[in-house]
Amino acid sequence: MNTLLIAVNAKYIHSNPAVYSLRAYAKGCPGRVEIAEYTINQPREQVLADIYRRKPDVAAFSCYLWNIEYVRALIPELAAVLPEVRIWAGGPEVSYDSERFLREVPEVELVMNGEGEAVFRKLLLAGENGWESVPGITRRLPGGEALANPPEPLLPMDEIPFPYRDLKAFENRIVYYESSRGCPFSCSYCMSSIEKTVRLRSLEKVERELAFFLENRVPQVKFVDRTFNCSHTHAMGIWRYIRDHDNGVTNFHFEIAGDLLTEEELALLAGMRPGLVQLEIGVQSTNPDTLAAVRRKTDLKRLAKTAERIRKAGNIHQHLDLIAGLPMEDLESFRRSFNQVYAMKPQQLQLGFLKVLKGSEMYRRAREFGIVYRRLPPYEVLSTPWLSYGELLELKSVEEMVEIYYNSSQYSHTIEYLETLFSDAYSLYSALGSFYLEKGYQGMNQSRMGRIEILRSFARKLHGCRMEECEERLLYDLYARENSKSRPDWALDLSDKKDAVYAFYQKEAEEKRYLKRQEPVRKLLHESHVEIFRSGKWLLFDYRNRDPLTGNAAVWDVTPAGGT
């Protein structure tokens, strides 16, 4: 029996660790298990044609929030062109409503509920007609009704094989890894709260598997553990290992609870190579009533101090999250949450919106809270008794501006100045979002130069804005990321400075005072840029030497003695 595990990812750079784990656990079973990964951006007919050419006996779909509508549309078409194929489904989007899913999608034979490795293996071992008694499935009865079998017990983590055979298929894609499953916390909006216990993979196994990534010089390994540092011993063991075996290339991403970090952990993290580790910390809200309503326990003062310690160490990319649309949080409360988290100065501030997920406590209590949300994926909040739809639209606009102008790290010097012209950070991004809406820019793709010009136009309308300083900062941001071939017409004309700049590079090639490398002038010119500002300042941007946290070039003030 040829079984095809099908993943439809949100983007090409993503991968689906679940299908790889199922295949690894099914090793040695009769028949052949293959994997097919697609994206929701591919035309459905293209995906259908590829599955058809593979001629599977079983097509098993991995179903998630981002792909369920795509999969629902694809399944009837697959059944029409391959009428003999047996269609299975699994994943969180069908596990918690499996009987209804089978009623609505009659082409599907069964749903694998919850954790799938053992269930999938037992289905393959049972053969084509013996799967009715397999635990952990909801199956279709001859009369069309659905029946859920008893659940499959959870596996010890060490019994789940390492899912990766080779990494050729993962070039230019994110590699995901899990060293634990479950979460000790009970946040009502999160699916991880369903499984109250935490299962840990042994450090011995984790170290062997991380060695595989390190030997293959994988650019990034993203841990999918829900609260990585819930076990101090486990977290310290892994962090010590990656510190001691750093290959100078691989970056490791962890989702942690910031207020749980200990002094020992902070000291260890502070000694990491810049760029070796990045941390994602869910703050979600700074409103105590909101946190209580969603059953989230957070020591906000300790979290803020921890975020400050990490920021000052200067070696770890810090990513802080907020969720809009939670109970008890109105616009003014969210504004406070935003400003408080923004003041922690993370490299990224992710502004997300509540999604009422099947199986979660929030799903069961949405009516009680008065939360109105989309009935189709991604089940995102539309309004609450505390936030109107119009106010959520304002927050969407703020989210877009933060993503463009803050999270990209490409406009930080200009944004830092513009913040001084507003009462708080939220007001800046709200005003910028209103400007985008007024000019019709929202949702439009823009070049970096286009974003620079929009920011300049916005600044020109602000009371008290000193445009000479603002334009100097805009130029700084423009060249901090790349040696732009385009040059704004409002920048200083450097045509009469070419000889002076070339003379600087000749001297630099001899003295190696800033760039500190043995290269001819021509190559130095290609790998760096000297910008001369109206104020007379000269700045040298070195694109071979970048900040590992922001990606921006190293910068030196090389203003000649006496100015220009």
| Spatial distance between the Cα atoms of 166 and 296, rounded to a whole number of angstroms | 39
Tell me the DSSP string of 127-185. -TT-GGG-TTEEEE-TTS-EEEPPPPPPPPGGGSPP--S-SGGGTTSPEEE-SEE--S-
CB 109 within 8 A of CB 139: yes
* CA–CA dist 557, 540 (Å, integer): 6
Per-residue pLDDT of the chain in tens (564 residues, 90 and over written 9): 899 999 999 999 999 999 999 999 999 999 999 999 999 999 999 999 999 999 999 999 999 999 999 999 999 999 999 999 999 999 999 998 999 999 999 999 999 999 999 999 999 999 777 788 899 999 998 888 899 999 999 999 999 999 998 898 898 899 999 999 999 898 999 987 676 689 999 999 999 999 999 999 999 999 999 999 999 999 999 999 999 999 999 999 999 999 999 999 999 999 999 999 999 999 999 999 999 999 999 999 999 999 999 999 999 999 999 999 999 999 999 999 999 999 999 999 999 999 999 889 999 999 999 999 999 999 999 999 999 999 999 999 999 999 999 999 999 999 999 999 999 999 999 999 999 999 999 888 999 999 999 999 999 999 999 999 999 999 999 999 999 988 999 999 999 999 999 999 999 999 999 999 999 999 999 999 999 999 999 999 999 999 999 999 999 999 998 655
Whether 355 and 189 have beta carbons less than 8 Å apart is answered as: yes
Three-class DSSP category at 268: helix
3-state secondary structure of 329: coil
Global pTM reads 0.93
Question: Which of 326, 372, 327, 320 shows the shortest CA–CA distance to 353?
Answer: 326
Enter the tokens of residue 198: 């935490």
Phi-psi region of 90 (alpha: psi -120 to 50; beta: other; left: phi over 0): beta
Q: How far apart are CA 343 and CA 144, in angstroms?
A: 57
Q: How far apart are the first and last CA of the chain?
A: 77
